[in-house]
Homo-oligomer: A and B are copies of this chain.
């Protein structure tokens, strides 16, 4: 593994974070707080402590910032789901674990999720498609678990697996609308409860 050639002025670091890292962190916070459209590039660079020129050195547009944020969320979620699915054990246990985990992950990244569902439509058609494709893969993996349980006879099979996925993820994606990390329930409790409610739906009757 070759160390990459280093020439030119070295990148500036603050608190061990590079310029693009600081910019993305600032964008994440501001987009979640005020919305993508109501946040100006000026706002972002001031919050990140960099100049506008520096931002455009690393990102090609304001939309690109959004796209990068999306990429991170998608990568993380997919990785965790793949992980949960690959575990050993009965399908209901694996689904329960996956459900609880996605709730916890979402709860720990409320800002990203807020932005995700609020600002998707601000992206160019092409990038939206890319994101949707990735979401679809996620959806399919999850749906696979449900189908497996239905075939195994542990989940009711008079209900479309697709619908069940949308039903559950609706609940998850709306967490930012009401969940306060400082609220009465820990995020793990919320995760267990959501998993319980959903499994209850699938195993009822």
A201 in complex: contacting residue of B118, B178, B201, CB < 8 Å: B201
Q: What is the total number of copies of this protein in its complex? A: 4
Complex CA gap A36/B173 in Å reads 21
Q: Is A125 positioned at the interface, with any CB of B under 8 Å from its CB?
A: no
* Range class of the A interface residue count: 35 or more
Nearest-neighbor residue (CB-CB) of A35 within chain B: B121
Judged by a CB distance under 8 angstroms, whether A1 is at the interface is no
> Measured between alpha carbons, how far is A97 from B96 in the docked complex, in Å?
28
Overall SS of chain A's interface? helix
Contact A170 B175 (CB under 8 A): yes
Query: Could you tell me if B196 and A159 are in contact, using CB atoms closer than 8 angstroms?
Result: yes
Contact in complex: B200, A205 (CB < 8 Å): yes
- Which residue from chain B places its CB closest to the CB of A200 in the assembled complex? B204
Query: How far is A2 from B196 in the complex, measured between Cα atoms in Å?
Result: 57
Q: How far is the CA of A204 from the CA of B190 in the complex (A)?
A: 18
Q: How far is the CA of A8 from the CA of B53 in the complex (A)?
A: 9
Residues of B within 8 A of A199 (CB): 204
| CA A200 to CA B172, docked complex, whole Å | 18
Q: Which residue of B lies closest to A156 (CB)?
A: B200
Q: CB-CB < 8 A to A175: which residues of B? A: 170
A–B complex contacts, Cβ < 8 Å, 18 sampled: A35-B37, A35-B122, A38-B122, A117-B118, A117-B174, A118-B121, A156-B200, A159-B197, A160-B193, A163-B185, A164-B197, A166-B171, A170-B175, A170-B177, A173-B177, A196-B201, A200-B202, A201-B201
